[in-house]
Structure 1
Amino acid sequence: MSAVARLLLTRGIPVSGSELHEWPTLAALHALGGTIFRTHQATNLDGVDTVVYSSAIPADHIELVTARERGLRVLHRAQALAITMNGRRAIAVSGTHGKTTTTSMVTLVLQHAGLDPSFVIGGEISEVGSNAHHGSGDYFVAEADESDRSFLLYRPHVGIVTNIDADHLNTYGDLGKLEEAFVEFCSHVDPAGFVVICADDPGARRLIARARQLGTTVYTYG
Structure 2
Amino acid sequence: MQYTNLKRIYFIGIGGIGMSALARYFHFNNVVVTGYDRTETALTKQLQQEGIAIHFTDDIALADLNADLIIYTPAIPKEHKEYNYFLANGYPIRKRAQVLGELSASKFTIAIAGSHGKTTVSSMIAWILKHSGYDCTAFLGGISANFNSNFVAGKNDVMVIEADEFDRSFLQLHPDIAVITAVDSDHLEIYGTQQELEKTFTEFAHQVTEKGKVVLKSSLPILKNIKREKYSYSINDTNADLFVADYKITLSGSQVRLNNGMQYKLIYPGIHNIENSVAASSVALLLGIEKNNIISALNVFNGVHRRFEIMYQNDAIVFIDDYAHHPEEIAMFLKSVRAIYTGKKITAIFQPHLFTRTRDLAEGFSESLSIADEVLLLPIYPARELPIEGVSSAMIYNNILSPSKHLMEKENLLEYIQTQPLEIVCTIGAGDIDKLVEPIARTLKQKNPQL
TM-score with structure 1 setting the length? 0.92
Given the alignment of the two structures, is residue 85 of structure 1 paired with residue 104 of structure 2, yes or no?
Answer: yes
Give the superposition deviation at 1:138: 2.1
Distance 1:186 1:21 in 2: 35
Q: How many residues align?
A: 215
Tell me: CA distance 1:28–1:147, structure 2 relative to 1, closer, same or farther (3 Å).
Answer: same
Secondary structure of the structure 1 residue equivalent to 2:48: helix
Tell me: CA distance 1:38–1:170, structure 2 relative to 1, closer, same or farther (3 Å).
Answer: closer
Counterpart contact for 1:6–1:133, Cα < 8 Å? no
Where in structure 2 are the equivalents of 1:1-222 lying within 5 Å? 1-43=19-61, 44-199=63-218, 201=219, 204=220, 206-212=221-227, 216-222=228-234
Give the superposition deviation at 1:37: 2.0
**Larger radius of gyration between Structure 1 and Structure 2:** 2
Structure 2, unmatched stretches of 5+, are 1-18, 235-451
Counterpart contact for 1:115–1:138, Cα < 8 Å? no
- Output the aligned Cα RMSD: 1.3
Distance 1:21 1:59 in 2: 18
Counterpart contact for 1:90–1:158, Cα < 8 Å? yes
Counterpart contact for 2:110–2:177, Cα < 8 Å? yes
Distance 1:207 1:65 in 2: 39
Counterpart contact for 2:115–2:181, Cα < 8 Å? yes
Counterpart contact for 2:105–2:173, Cα < 8 Å? no
Counterpart contact for 2:71–2:96, Cα < 8 Å? yes
Secondary structure of the structure 2 residue equivalent to 1:197: strand
Of 15-24 and 121-130, the range deviating more from structure 2: 15-24
Distance 1:46 1:52 in 2: 13
Counterpart contact for 1:45–1:63, Cα < 8 Å? no
Give the superposition deviation at 1:20: 4.1
Counterpart contact for 2:40–2:56, Cα < 8 Å? no
Tell me: CA distance 1:83–1:31, structure 2 relative to 1, closer, same or farther (3 Å).
Answer: farther
Give the superposition deviation at 1:49: 2.1
Give the superposition deviation at 1:152: 0.7
Counterpart contact for 1:14–1:33, Cα < 8 Å? no
User: After the TM superposition, which parts of structure 1 deviate over 6 Å for at least 4 consecutive aligned residues?
Assistant: none
Secondary structure of the structure 2 residue equivalent to 1:192: coil
Give the superposition deviation at 1:86: 3.1
Secondary structure of the structure 2 residue equivalent to 1:218: strand
Counterpart contact for 1:120–1:141, Cα < 8 Å? yes
Counterpart contact for 2:72–2:94, Cα < 8 Å? yes
Percent of paired sites with the same residue? 34
Structure 1, unmatched stretches of 5+, are none
Give the superposition deviation at 1:141: 0.6
